[in-house]
Structure 1
Amino acid sequence: MLNLAQLPGLLVGFRVLIAPLLLVDAMDHQTSIWFLVGYVLAILSDIFDGIIARRLGVSTPQLRQADSWADIWLFSCLALSTWWVHPDVLQQLRVPLLVAVAAQFSLFGISLIKFRKFPSFHTYTAKAWGIALLVATLSLFGWGDSRALWVAITACLVNSLEEIVMTLVLAKWHCDVLSLFHALKLRQSELINSVEKG
């Protein structure tokens, strides 16, 4: 019998498993309706794993890090699928895409250097980026319309820059810090606690 406390972890695992199926569907340089169905289900699992984990009180740093790794894996599979099916679009947008990728890698690098961990903030801007990417994916793979990719790229840049600043601001690694405003409040609390302890 399923223990409800295990459900968020199972949703993260579901996303890990479904991501390579996107690649399988895209290997012949075209995709079926199941590609979009799979991607939408993966995004729904991403939305609900955090909600359920918080409701059940099982939102641990380990689970949230696993969630972040599952996202990276999903988006990597999506990127490779896009390269196979829509290489012309990626060529046209290569400069802004490379800037967005560089911003993400900069975030990862700064976090690894400072905290020896990948970031796992799950900010509002990350959620906005996820929604923008969902719309862009549906538009591109469903109707061949790439215009929404500009919004997704912009959202990625905004999210990356915000989380870079947050990483620089915070003294310790934290997960589930919703915005730069929240990070600044957390940093202030850290400073007060260090003064009181000192």
Structure 2
Amino acid sequence: MNTQKVPFFVERIPSILVGIRVAIAPLLVLDALDHDTTIWFVVGYIIAILSDIFDGIIARRLGVSTVELRQADSWADIFLFICLAISTWLVYPHVLRDFKTPLFLALAAQLILFTISLIKFKKLPSFHTYTAKIWGLMLLIATVSLFGFDYDKPLWLAIVLCWINSTEEIAMTLLLPEWKCDVLSIFHALNLRRDLPQ
């Protein structure tokens, strides 16, 4: 068995990737301040999403996937999406007006999820479900489509996936007797509920 300790710099890679996402997020807003964006907006967002994909993969491979790291990952995601929303408002306010009702419902679903989790567990959710991953990828497609090609139709699917993910995670939060991170689906939550003391 290989028990060689992972070098300190290597085990910090997942944290560095989370930090890269946090650093990129305000740069998106900075690029959008003049109500237009450059190619670097799309490049930066793609890099941010790639960091989101690989931080968890690398952390699990290195055996350094801690609760603190996964919570930091969730906070970085929230910060990135807030900066993306601000950038969209600066550059494409008409898109937000056109999608105002479904976007409001998606935001309301997320706020309901956060509220239930804070009331029940005193923590924000950090499930990293399959539906969240699919939603994130669809949001990437919608963002590249909008900021790269002025095409907003993929936003519909991103919003629907947000509803699906929020509904699933609300149900998971209500099901689980204690806070857990990295619960991949409601089926995993049901299995955890059976195994955890009630």
Q: TM-score under structure 2 normalisation? A: 0.95
State the match for 2:38 in structure 1.
Answer: 32
Q: Does 1:176 align with 2:186?
A: no
Question: Partner amino acid for 2:14?
Answer: P
Residue 188 of structure 1: CA displacement? Answer: 0.4
Residue 2 of structure 1: CA displacement? Answer: 6.0
What percent identity do the matched residue pairs reach? 64
State the match for 2:126 in structure 1.
Answer: 120
1:55, 1:39 → 2: CA distance?
Answer: 25
State the match for 1:51 in structure 2.
Answer: 57
Structure 1, residues 12-65: CA drift from partner, whole Å, max 9, x if none? 011000100000100000000000000000000000000000000110010000
1:54, 1:64 → 2: CA distance?
Answer: 11
Q: Does 1:42 align with 2:48?
A: yes
1:160, 1:81 → 2: CA distance?
Answer: 23
Q: Does 1:103 align with 2:113?
A: no
Q: Structure 1: which 5+ runs fail to align?
A: none
- Displaced runs of 4 or more, over 2 A: none
1:111, 1:155 → 2: CA distance?
Answer: 20
Counterpart secondary structure, 1:3: helix
Structure 1, residues 126-180: CA drift from partner, whole Å, max 9, x if none? 0000001000000001111100000000000000000000000000000000000
Counterpart secondary structure, 2:52: helix
Q: Does 1:88 align with 2:94?
A: yes
Residue 3 of structure 1: CA displacement? Answer: 1.5
Aligned match for 2:166, one of 150, 160, 163: 160
Q: Does 1:66 align with 2:72?
A: yes
The RMSD of aligned alpha carbons is: 0.9
Residue 103 of structure 1: CA displacement? Answer: 0.1
State the match for 2:3 in structure 1.
Answer: none
Q: TM-score under structure 1 normalisation? A: 0.95
